[in-house]
Amino acid sequence: MKSFQRFALTPGEPAGIGPDLCLLLARAAQPQILIAIASCSLLEQRAAQLALQIKLVPVTPAAWPVQPAQAGTLYVWETPLPAASVQAGILDPCNSSYVLETLSRAGQGCLAGDFAGMITAPVHKGVINEAGIPFSGHTEFLAELTGTEQVVMMLATRNLRVALVTTHLPLAKVAEAITDQRLEKVTRILHADLINKFGIAEPRILVCGLNPHAGEGGHLGREEIDIIEPCLQRLRSEGMNLIGPLPADTLFTPRNLEHCDAVLAMYHDQGLPVLKYQGFGAAVNVTLGLPIIRTSVDHGTALELAGTGRIDTGSLQVALETAYRMAESRL
């Protein structure tokens, strides 16, 4: 008898498209055991709005299922929703504690070995903060939950991975944030997780320079000379296959990317516009450095589309496929 792995799926903001995505996804069978950590009443309400016939099967840690659900069926670990009802597209701060509880259950379940990984639909940071709960995002929340000091954001399509040295910083603050210590930590995490979670024995990583033309020999900035190249050379001496720093405007060409396992970009809008141009709607957000597997969609809550049925499940499907492959690579 084949052995299956369990994965947690969190629907995110209840007024957004996360519940819709979970239900639409359940129309087809999954190759692994997928458990939505959610309110059954919310899913029932949204299914009725979408005219979907999805059978919800309650499950608990006391008796996890051992087979994947059939097409048209969704396993649900019931998580109570504070609000009596949810109106698609209308945020309610009262439900913020519910959103964080689903994340806590998924994360703790991964740590305990109940789940091989977790896949997250989008949350709405603003409404959680309006509820008086300090929250800066999934990544930071899960880092604190798992006691992880440093994590790395990586987005990926089916044929390109881009990790970031810095994430959500104003452009004016990026250069000062590119330190030897940060660059070394991020590179080590990226390299280790490509091996341990993606099963790539000898990762080949292309590294962007910070400045135009990678600094033009110091004429357009010295970060490449003073910080990036010395750090990369030190890590190369340990056996890492690091190419760069390369000018970002020519790095993302088919010839360069042909044998590349990942690109390391210095800042958010250096690498992600290229990746999203190539695969928006079919990309996945992966948090590296965590002791657990966590993938997510590459889009937001799309409140205006909740309950309409006019959404694409492509990104969530890629997030699931990526989590499944990562879990297999860890075996």
Binding-site annotation: residue ranges for substrate:
138-139, 276, 285, 294
Asked if 74 and 58 touch (Cβ cutoff 8 Å), the reply is: no
What backbone phi and psi angles, to 5 degrees, belong to 262? -165, 155
User: Which one-letter amino acid corresponds to residue 205?
Assistant: I
Binding residues: 138-139, 168, 213, 268, 276, 285, 294
Annotated binding site for a divalent metal cation: 168, 213, 268
SS3 for 128-153 is HHHCCCCCCCHHHHHHHHHCCCCCEE
3-class secondary structure, 71? coil
Report the candidate in 288, 28, 281 with the shortest Cα–Cα distance to residue 152: 288
Helix extents (H) in 227-313: 229-236, 248-251, 254-257, 268-279
Supply 74's token pair.
């969704």
What torsion do the CA atoms of 122, 124, 273, 213 make, to the nearest 10 degrees? -120
